[in-house]
Chain A
Amino acid sequence: MLELRGIIDAIWSFIVGLLAGLGIPQWAIELVGYALIAVVMFGVVAVIVLFLVWWERKVSAKMQDRLGPMRVGWHGIIQTIADAIKLLQKEDITPKAIDFPIHFWAPVVTFVAAFMVYVTVPFGKGLIVSDLSVGVLYIIAITTFTVIGLLMAGWGSNNKYSLLGGFRSAAQVVSYEVPLSLALLGVIMISQTLSLGTIVTQQDNLLKWYVWRQPLGFLIFWIAATAECNRTPFDLPEADSELVAGFVTEYSGMKFAMFFLAEFVNMFTASVVAVTLFFGGWMSPFGPDFGPSWMWFLGKTMFFVFVLMWFRWTYPRLRVDQLMGFAWKVLLPLAFLNILLTGLGIYLFDGLK
């Protein structure tokens, strides 16, 4: 019933037949397969991100009594594509005194790292590129990777505002990574696995969502994830009223667009992880095989993306010392408490199952 796995399999076997008919060896066909998967994944995520950029502008417009983009397409739906084309055509201005290789590669590192997460994300029933046995660990590791790009951008730009922004992002992401990982540990303790595919199949109805057993864990994760995405109220690295634009100050054209898109990919990633680990991923709340799985996944994820947008257009920004204090003095002890409570629960009620 509208499951995409069957369609994808059919297309793939058609391509395999086509290629085999040309006498292409098996290993080369497999290589083509990997390349195709990479392109398709990139395309899917890119389209989602382009949609998110438009949607964020519409959501913010709604909250601020404006219309938002209205001219390009129906209600400005292809505005982001027009923006992307404009950014591609723009002159790439690089200041004279930059550290060129670092400045040049920083957006690439951020961009690639942001997309690499989707290797192990289950988009729907059977829609997972590779269900890694260490999926959760992989996601935590890769999302932290983006900070290297931000730090490179801050350092390579040779600009004091960029440097402050880069330092802030490094401090922030590293600090919030700790409570974030510890919050996910609660789910892992209950589910006894790191594989995202298995974690999803364990939550096959509304009552089995891990958020009911890990409410504190989810709260900690969600706050930390907002900080990881560098979004308001934690958007200090690019605090426009303090640091002009933080680490992106000296970037223009497509390099800027790469940072910009990476931010939205990260936002989507945070929602994906929240949905997958706490809200049953692609599983429908009314038992398995109720409606197309990928639609459940997208619907739930979009809700959390909306929550992130809601935060952004409502809250002011924290100050840098308050931000660090909150991570180490509030979130971290709570995360430890959560682990303790989860362990106690498993000991007393045999895994809360």
Chain B
Amino acid sequence: MEQAAPDQKRFAVDGDDVYIDLGPGGVETPEGIYDTDRYTVNMGPQHPATHGVLRLRLEMDGETVIAIDPVIGYLHRCFEKHAESLSYPMVIPFTDRLDYLAGMNQNWSLALGVERLAGIEVPEKVEYIRVIVGELNRIASHLVAFGTFGLDMGAFTPFLWAFRDREKILDLLEWASGARLLYNYIWVGGVARDLPDGWTAKCLEFLDYFEPKLAEYNNLLSYNQIFIERTAKTGIISKDIAVGYGLSGPNLRGSGVDWDLRRDDPYSIYDRFEWDVALGTGEYGPLGSCWDRYWVRILEIGQSIRILRQAINGLPAEGDVKEKVPKKAKAPESDYYVRTEVPKGELGFYIIGSGKDTARRIKARSPSFCAISAMDAIVKSPDNPRMLIADVVATVASLDIVLGEIDR
């Protein structure tokens, strides 16, 4: 058996030996390094702060975390393999189950990919409906991120406030699609059905109700001194790490990288609306901290409300909501990589068509997977000289991961 180097620790992962570089250990004192015992803590797969069935193997020295080894696969459902034997419309319900907090955006991404591959143009009304439900779902997803971040920081009230308001969004989406979480609403070539009568009025009513709530959220959590102390100086992701590990969405923008696919790789009709890309500012600490990522999400909720108001005003009253697409939509024997800005970041589908109604291969590029793979680099980065177990919890929460998307 291979010997571990002095500063390495051997783990056995499913029969394979894995060596993790621990770096210099112990506590540094003027007399030298005071060596302390290191120990391993398994955080998860059943743990309140891992947002599902993620397992983080923490190498710890007292309360300080030295290395993180995320172990995934507890929620693996063979999405990509399933997608090879099902026709395109049948794959769309599976995408709901990737990021189950933002099903609309996932539906949209795959539908857009198949449409582009097959060269289908969708009616204008469909684009408006897609933007409306997509942005509503983005708000709902960011509300969960806000609430669970508070919960992981020990504040329970923001969580229930967020879920109270998210419930209203789910009611709206249920009215439109018939489902609360797994919608299967955005189809190839259109949407499942038109928005019901009176839906837009109800949606505007919700926006009027919801907009002032953001100030309440900020007073409760965002500007709380304890919360700022806990989050604004830890979990710092430099631009290099963020770009290098392929972070996207609010996680990338929290590090100050101005990149939003809705603007930089435009799809649908986002170029018709007036809105801004929210960026991390480093207001209370170094740029790229947990607070910055959190703050980007709060700002994005505000921007989504702006887009929603414009989209509802511009929604054509009449029009088809389904392009005439044969039931078995066929895509040519070529490939296409589609990417859209979902609440968690860049969701991409690499679709290889087979000329028939099933794909030869669909590969999903999920934003949460990239985010969680950066954890070890974040802990070992010189920007975060000492990460405690509480900081790891804050960082995982601020990355806003969803396990359904990581394991697929």
Contact = CB atoms under 8 A, between A and B. Distances in A.
Interface stretch (B181-189, B218-226, B326-334): B218-226
Q: From DSSP, what is the main secondary structure of chain A's interface residues?
A: loop
Interface stretch (A11-19, A291-299, A314-322, A335-343): A314-322
A164 interface: yes
B149 to A, nearest CB: 9
Interface string A304-317: 00000000011111
Contact of B388 (A244, A316, A319): A319
Given A240-B48, A314-B155, A317-B226, A65 B161 contact: yes
Given A64-B157, A233-B226, A316-B150, 12 more contacts: A164-B63, A239-B390, A240-B154, A241-B153, A313-B156, A315-B154, A315-B155, A317-B230, A318-B230, A319-B229, A320-B388, A320-B390
Contacts of B193: none
Nearest to B229: A322
B160 interface: yes
Contacts of B63: 164, 320
Interface string B203-237: 00000000000000000110010110110000000
Contacts of A65: 160-161, 164
A320 B391 CA distance: 10
Contacts of A317: 153-155, 226, 230, 390
Contacts of A314: 155, 157, 220
Given A319-B390, A320-B390, A232 B157 contact: no
B41 A316 contact: no
A241 B391 contact: no
25 contacts: A64-B156, A64-B157, A64-B160, A65-B160, A160-B39, A160-B41, A233-B154, A239-B154, A239-B390, A241-B48, A241-B152, A244-B47, A314-B157, A314-B220, A315-B154, A315-B155, A316-B153, A316-B226, A317-B153, A317-B154, A318-B226, A318-B230, A319-B388, A320-B63, A322-B230
B312 interface: no
Interface residues of B, number: 29
Contacts of B164: 64-65
Interface in A145-178: 160-161, 164
B151 interface: yes
Nearest to A164: B63
Contacts of A239: 154, 390
Closest 8 CB pairs of A and B: A317-B154, A316-B153, A64-B160, A241-B49, A316-B155, A241-B152, A319-B390, A316-B227
Interface in B151-180: 151-157, 160-161, 164
Interface in B46-84: 47-49, 63
B199 to A, nearest CB: 25
B390 to A, nearest CB: 5
A163 to B, nearest CB: 10
B389 interface: yes
Contacts of B315: none
B161 to A, nearest CB: 7
A232 B160 contact: no
B257 interface: no
B195 interface: no
Contacts of A320: 63, 388, 390
A244 B390 CA distance: 12
B393 interface: yes
Contact of A235 (B47, B154, B220): B154
Given A164-B63, A241-B49, A316 B39 contact: no
A334 B221 CA distance: 28
A66 B160 contact: yes
Nearest to A163: B39
Contacts of B152: 241
B48 A244 contact: yes
Contact of B391 (A164, A243, A319): A319
A310 to B, nearest CB: 11
Interface in A52-71: 60, 63-66
A234 to B, nearest CB: 10
A242 interface: yes
Contact of B229 (A60, A161, A318): A318
